[in-house]
Amino acid sequence: MDLVFIEDLRIETVIGIYDWERTIKQTIALDIEMAFDNTRPAASDRIEDTLDYKAVSKRLIAFVGESHFGLVETLAERCAAILREEFGVRWLRLKLSKPGAVTGSRAVGVIIERGERSPAS
């Protein structure tokens, strides 16, 4: 299985359950691995044949930047749904980090995996 990845995509958004968090933007960071068969784009050398990580990044930046979720779990699920439904990603692993959310830690967050890891038969 081939993977396309995006590492440390930082986006400002409203996220959190406390009243003070609802009034400010905080940074979240996304690390994403997405299953994709890269043999076709490798043979054609055409961007149209790829899972375009720039298009994926732009879509997530727009969505997350406008969102107002309380839980990182909810935001992670919504991002995964976008990747699966809009970009046809069969399997993904998404890590959503909230840097500085807990004193003494670099970041906290969730890691989710969705979809089938093996290629379709």
Residue 58 falls in the annotated catalytic set? no
Active-site residue identified among 54, 58, 95, 98: 98
Show the CA angle centred on residue 118, arms to residues 115 and 119, nearest 5°.
Answer: 100
CA 70 vs CA 45, 46, 51, 121: distances in Å: 42, 40, 30, 39
Catalytic positions = 98
